[in-house]
Amino acid sequence: EAQVTQNPRYLITVTGKKLTVTCSQNMNHEYMSWYRQDPGLGLRQIYYSMNVEVTDKGDVPEGYKVSRKEKRNFPLILESPSPNQTSLYFCASSLGSGDNQPQHFGDGTRLSIL
């Protein structure tokens, strides 16, 4: 089954404790992206990747890191999480190939930073 898989689905942690949210897709998609969703703000793009070893900042990259060492994986790293990063996070992927294609979203990760 074609899917985007995020882990964990839920996480409660404390300020300053490094965490990684994994994202994996099995569709051989070139493009992957991370979004955060907050009430009244819609989906805001954090980082995106057009291919292996190619990453770019979205609208809200501060406090986040990403890497794209393999095509299928695109982890989101919070080196020193803070309470303002409490949010619902979505990973997405698409064919890419130099143009916009429909994005397939994962089920989301709800992060609470205390």
- In angstroms, the CA 18 to CA 89 distance is 16
Find tokens 């689905």 and name the residue.
Answer: 9
Query: Could you say whether residue 58 binds other proteins (CB under 8 A)?
Result: yes
Structure tokens belonging to residue 92: 């997405």
Sign of the Cα torsion 105, 106, 110, 113 reads negative
Cis peptide upstream of residue 83 (ω within 30 degrees of 0): no
Stretch that binds other proteins, among 9-17, 35-43, 68-76, 79-87 (CB under 8 A): 35-43
Binding to other proteins (CB under 8 A) within 65-94 occurs at: 90
User: Shortest Cβ distance from residue 80 to other proteins (Å)?
Assistant: 26
User: Shortest Cβ distance from residue 64 to other proteins (Å)?
Assistant: 16
Sites of contact with other proteins (CB under 8 A): 31, 33, 35, 40-45, 48-50, 56, 58-59, 90, 96, 98-100, 102-103, 105-108
